[in-house]
Amino acid sequence: MLEVRNLQKSYETPQGKIQVLDGISLDLTNGQSLALMGESGSGKSTLLHLIGGLDTPDEGQIILDGTDVGTLSDAGRAELRRGQLGVVFQQFNLVPSLNVQDNLAFQARIAGRFDTAWQAHLAGTLGLDDLLQRYPEQLSGGQQQRVAIGRTLAAKPQLMLADEPTGNLDEATGDAVLDLTLSLVRDLGNSLLMVTHNPRLAERLDKTITLSGGRVSS
């Protein structure tokens, strides 16, 4: 479902060029979950952003369900994120003027994939049924992250990208959020690529890849 081949990415800085990714390759099949680990600066978030079409590589290919992401225009990558990709960050990025119910539906409506029954299933599974009329400022961090995950999955993406989705949560809340995420990913049958620093959380996913110095560590 996802193929990454020999991905290269560097950035120019006042001190010179920094090679962030240096020949990364990986595969992710339908329904599979993958943890991406590594020290700060190892290129994890950069790789996630490239796969999500938020940036472009210097060299290499990212193929999502047969589509070469690198050949797409900015508009094409935006369309990919609306339809086939879902992204969850550490910061919840909820729309403050929308209540929980409308935040959950936001991405699905943009993608033209709003499904009343699936939204109700998400709300129930994520424990949000009694919070649908509340606004983000009225929610705890764990509740906001559950809404963010539900909003992403509401559009039924083929691939969910999660950048430290439990990084701003305490351990118990983070575990609960990951439990719900994995349960919903199984329900949907999509794939999950999650960046994490936590080996304990990484063990919960199907496989783990560790980056070091912009390469896959052996």
pLDDT for position 32: 93
Round to whole Å and give the CA distance between 32 and 158.
11
Mean pLDDT of the chain, nearest integer: 91
pLDDT above 70: percentage of residues in the chain: 100
> Coil, strand, or helix at residue 97?
coil
Q: What is the pTM of this model?
A: 0.89
Round to whole Å and give the CA distance between 117 and 18.
48
Give 3-18 pLDDT, tens digit per residue: 999 999 999 989 899 9
Using alpha carbons, list the distances in angstroms from residue 65 to 3, 88, 160. 8, 20, 13
Estimate the share of the chain in helix, then strand, then coil, as percent rounded to the nearest 5. 40, 30, 35
Q: Is the pLDDT of residue 194 over 60?
A: yes
Task: State the average pLDDT over residues 182-196.
Answer: 90
More confident residue, 81 or 136: 136
Give 44-94 pLDDT, tens digit per residue: 989 999 999 888 999 999 999 888 998 888 888 888 888 789 888 878 889
What tokens does 74 get?
Answer: 């900015």
Range name among 127-131, 132-136, 175-179 with the lowest pLDDT average: 175-179
Round to whole Å and give the CA distance between 60 and 164.
25
pLDDT for position 54: 87
Instruction: Enumerate the domain spans of the chain.
Output: 30-50+72-210
Q: Is the pLDDT of residue 218 over 80?
A: no
Q: Does domain 30-50+72-210 have CATH number 3.90.550.10?
A: no
Nearest Cα to 183, choosing from 33, 52, 37, 36? 33
Round to whole Å and give the CA distance between 77 and 70.
9
* Order of all β-strands in the sheet with 59-64: 16-28, 2-13, 59-64, 67-68
Q: Is the pLDDT of residue 180 over 80?
A: yes
Task: State the average pLDDT over residues 160-183.
Answer: 88
Q: Between the ranges 130-134, 164-168, 171-175, 182-186, where is the mean pLDDT highest?
A: 130-134
Round to whole Å and give the CA distance between 78 and 32.
24
Task: State the average pLDDT over residues 10-37.
Answer: 93
